[in-house]
A and B are shown apart, each in its own frame.
Chain A
Amino acid sequence: MEPILEVKDLHVSFSVRGGEVKAVRGVNFTVGRGETIAIVGESGSGKSVTAQTIMRLIPSPPSMIKQGEIIFNGQNLLAKSNKDMEAVRGKDIGMIFQDPMTSLNPTIKVGKQITEGLIKHQNLSAADAKKRGVEMLKLVGIKNAEARFNQYPHEFSGGMRQRVMIAIALSCQPALLIADEPTTALDVTIQAQIISVMKDMQQRFGTSIIMITHDLGVVAGMADRVMVMYAGEVVETGTSMEIFKNPQHPYTRGLLRSLPRIDQRKDEPLVPIIGTPPDLIKPPIGCPFAARCDHAMSVCEKIDPAATHLSDTHMSRCWLLHPMAQEVTTS
């Protein structure tokens, strides 16, 4: 399958006083047409920076794209001028953000915010754009769409605003939707609705989705493939089934184990991952997870492990998968 997006060896840093925070350190992945890929990781893992770099939304300075390529539909987005990027944003790639309260302009009517992109990118007349806009609002499940079209964002609840954001992001039917923690600020009952709207819209338009989240439950319900990031690196990728049923990286396993399960008894303590992620102003030379890893070996502190491919879709970067590690543990 021809991938729609290909990120190759992406490195992004931020300059801060006292040095350079290496937020993304060599990220590779592809997104296929109509596929949902989830990027999972904790704060500071580089997942949001990766997504915003694809959209070229992070301000520079302080950010610096050190190296890498982002190939979207055969074109390198990193080589594009700002003006050319404007034509890509909204038209070919849509984005929704974490906070529906601040990502809509409070002084502009909701309808206008939807039609803006349609008029700009698709040269629709105002009347046609309005028709499409109302249609989009209906599709994301907003009742009384005609009346709602002329209301301001503050007249919508948080969940409703996120629906509007989805309508705006998908109005030009982009090939790719980047959703950066789209449900984190919402309550669980609203979260369930937003996810079902996103799935529904994906089926209708065949959009590829990059979903950035820290919530493994949301990932399990949405993603075809999962990419686990830690300290700016991709430590494991695989299909949802591979990641949840057969995780290979100790960090992925740790994440899954540290979640309480509904069937777990109270006196059974949770298994946390001890310690704190490394400060990326001075990333460890070896595996970034070594200091928190129960299975750490002396090699882990010295050399960052390379990718081990366990199947066509399943990759993990861990020294435990090295043949020699298995010899040592079995002997």
Chain B
Amino acid sequence: MSQPLIEVEGLKKYFNLGRGNILKAVNGIDFSINEGETLGVVGESGCGKSTAGRTILRLYEPTAGSVRFNGTDIYKLSPSKMKAMRRDMQMIFQDPYASLNPRFTVTDIIGEALDIHNMAGSRKERKKRVEELLDLVGLNPDHATRYPHEFSGGQRQRIGIARALAVNPKFIICDEPISALDVSIQAQVVNLLQDLQKRLGLTYLFIAHDLSMVKHISDRVAVMYMGRVVELAPSEELYANPLHAYTKTLLSAIPVPDPEIEANKKHILLNDEAAGPIHSKDGAPSQDLFNLDNSQLVEVSKGHWVAM
């Protein structure tokens, strides 16, 4: 098989919370993503999935580990090489309200990346490219001079997508791109992302807490819990045959929009007094429900990894 586009190895990101408390937000994760593939990452708030995404893009400096893009370790790049690398790796953010600068027009938001990388020769060229991008994500180019607060959530998320696409990236991290959107709009955005992937040959890391949506869009899914990957498998396989206790809990908790199924469902309930991944100075986790500190990922069947 060809070399994966993205290889994440032993990635750790700790935050020092002061007073000797360390938040081990990402505590050693490994995975790779092939070109054109979508890897889904699911987990609940505080499991480290968003921190992982931001660290992979080097928006945070890692505590340990490496991320290779086409074989190049991005953490070893000089600032100028890193800047060039950013053209290949982009991000779509969760909050369509907070992720667009309220004082910029749509043209300036999308055109900013073009300015940073000197990709538009003239104002006219820049305008043309912005209009192209708006058209690509299904927005009306006449609205290019408007401000973000005038758009609905779904429209804003399209602006965010157009911004990410402006530099022709190969790899995009989608950080909960639909969780702030209304149900009827979510499908629009997911379809757009899938459509763009086909047309532009994009590779996605799709972070979300909505398991049914992740299953729909991903080729493979990684389940994260307390800073670690507890299970990684092709999406059909993961849903049909979940092995880790946490994955099972998570799957049983998804409400299904069908009153008959819901009436007969048995939930596996998790003790919610378990605290998050905050470790005291001596490194002891506050509570390790699944004994993750002493387990590692094992391949139990082809492509199906589980922590044990």
Contacts and interface: CB of A to CB of B under 8 A. Distances in A.
Touch A–B, Cβ below 8 Å: yes
Interface of A: 42-43, 143, 157, 159-160, 187-193, 195-196, 214-221, 240-241, 244-245, 251, 254-256, 258-262, 264, 266, 269-274, 276-277
Contacts of A192: 252-253, 255, 267, 269
Contacts of A255: 183-184
A220 B273 CA distance: 27
B273 A157 contact: yes
Contacts of B153: 43
A316 to B, nearest CB: 17
Contact of B183 (A220, A241, A244, A258): A258
B235 A266 contact: yes
Given A264-B216, A266-B216, A269-B191, A254 B184 contact: yes
22 contacts: A143-B273, A159-B272, A188-B44, A188-B255, A189-B269, A193-B272, A195-B255, A214-B182, A216-B183, A220-B255, A221-B255, A245-B259, A254-B184, A260-B190, A260-B216, A262-B239, A262-B254, A270-B190, A271-B187, A272-B186, A272-B187, A272-B191
Contacts of A191: 253, 255
A242 B255 CA distance: 18
A116 B218 CA distance: 50
Contacts of A245: 259
Nearest to B262: A221
A187 B176 CA distance: 14
Given A192-B269, A220-B262, A244-B257, 7 more contacts: A42-B185, A189-B270, A218-B255, A251-B184, A262-B215, A266-B219, A269-B194
Contact of B184 (A220, A258, A260, A266): A258
A218 B262 CA distance: 9
Q: Which of A217, A245, A273 counts the most chain B CB atoms within 10 A?
A: A217
Nearest to A257: B187
A323 B249 CA distance: 49
A145 to B, nearest CB: 13
Interface in B200-255: 209, 211-213, 215-219, 235, 239, 249-250, 252-255
B82 interface: no
B188 interface: yes
A160 B273 contact: yes
Give chain B's interface residue range (CB within 8 Å of chain A): 35 or more
Contacts of A215: 183, 255
Contacts of B168: none
Contacts of A276: 152, 154-155, 185
Contact of A220 (B190, B215, B259, B275): B259
Interface in B25-75: 44-45
B142 interface: no
Contacts of A216: 183, 257
Contact of B209 (A187, A251, A260): A187
Contacts of A264: 216
Nearest to A226: B259
A36 to B, nearest CB: 12
B256 interface: yes
Contacts of A193: 269, 272
A217 B256 contact: yes
A258 B182 CA distance: 11
A273 B181 CA distance: 13
A42 B66 CA distance: 42
B261 to A, nearest CB: 8
| Residue in B154, B185, B215, B250 whose Cβ sees the most chain A Cβ within 10 Å | B185
A272 B275 contact: no
Nearest to A269: B191
B258 interface: yes
Contact of A260 (B45, B212, B259, B272): B212
Nearest to B267: A192
Contacts of A217: 254-257, 262
A266 B267 CA distance: 26
